[in-house]
Structure 1
Amino acid sequence: MSDLDIARSYYYEFLAYPLFYDEDSANFDKFIEQVKYLSTSPVDSSNIADFETILSFDFAKFKEEQNAVLFDLSYINVPLTASFYAEGRDDGEKRLKVIEILKRTKFRRDSQNCKVSEDYLGFIFKLMSTLLKEDLALSRELFESLINDFCDEFIKMMSEHKKAVFFKAYINIFANFIALERSVLGLKAPVFEQSMAEISLNKKPYQTKMPTQKSKINWDEFTKI
């Protein structure tokens, strides 16, 4: 395993954590330590300020923004599954593709501890981090058949979110990292005329669609409606 592949693996691990709903502040502290390490050698010098922005967040502030950007039911949020970007719906062919890749490894999703689907972006990034250590051929296949397809739309939608500060910095780092990944793997960005995700959302992301704010944090209140 080359030093470059080790660094790539670290970056995918860094990219995965902010997409998972987690109430354990200890995991956030571990993430911050990782950010400090990666900030010493950013992919692009323009990301120095982005790392500083992320490091300025404590757990409470991060959770507040994460809820607003990813889980707040008052807004059309950034889609978080590869299938949604490909087909405008969850649980589609991209999930089957991830499962097919998983079947060729010794790894499986622990459904008891991991409640997201196999094509959840955070899960894909964690898997990519693992495959870079275990099977470079499969890691390339995962990038070429999934990550390369959704990453540009993911970047666009995250960048447009009006409440993103932490996640604006996060997506700036992601964008430069993806540019490096495509260079390393000799791949180009896919060309598409229309976004299936935006067609499915049927309006510009993040416009309010509910009269009062409801969130994943207050899920019990929401289910009583």
Structure 2
Amino acid sequence: MTTPTARIRHIGAVILAAASLAACQSGHAATGPSTPDLGTPPTSSADALVPTPGSCTLGHRDGQDLPDTHCTPGTVNSQVTQATIDTTICQPGWTKTVRPPTSVTNKIKQQIDVAYGLPADTKGELDHLISLELGGAPSDPANLWVEPGKIPNPKDTVENKLHAVVCSELVPLTTAQRAIARNWVTAFDDAGLRVAGGKVCLHDNPSKCVGSNHRGDEDGS
């Protein structure tokens, strides 16, 4: 004997199946934006703490170093939103107004070296995973890691190009932020972009590109 509860569940399943079928029928399929929606990165917390010593491990992709996603997920500056990019990150010189002084960053670098188990004399820069030119949080440990190697480094180029596409409104700010936070090595692909001939173009619309000449502040990491 079929119970009332079972009948309700059956009806619900039929409704969901019908809705799914309708969405897939020709002429009714859902269409998305030209770039993927990668979500909104978390905002910096005033109470953020440096990870405990030895709790973080560098990752690697295509010969490049990556931060530990648990220790350094990337956080953003609440002042920078899609509505304010013209008066913040796309305004030349703006990042200098939010960049923390070396008296702050030197201390944080020493603490993050310990968190990642790196020698104190490790050559590299204290890097904002979501760069200041993309609205990254200036002094939140969750947005900082020590990127080993030479300065400038390959990530700087990625930051500058993403900044260009954001300030040219080729992709939304949050798309670029989330892409570089997820994996800076694959950020262009994750943001629906490709680099060709010195230009950055949309994957699904190669005619929409940004060159090297754009407005804004490239004082990134």
TM-based fold match above 0.5 = no
Larger radius of gyration: 2
TM-score (norm 2): 0.26
TM-score (norm 1): 0.25
Higher strand content, 1 or 2: 2
By relative contact order (CA 8 Å, sep 6+), the higher-ranking structure is 1
Higher helix content, 1 or 2: 1
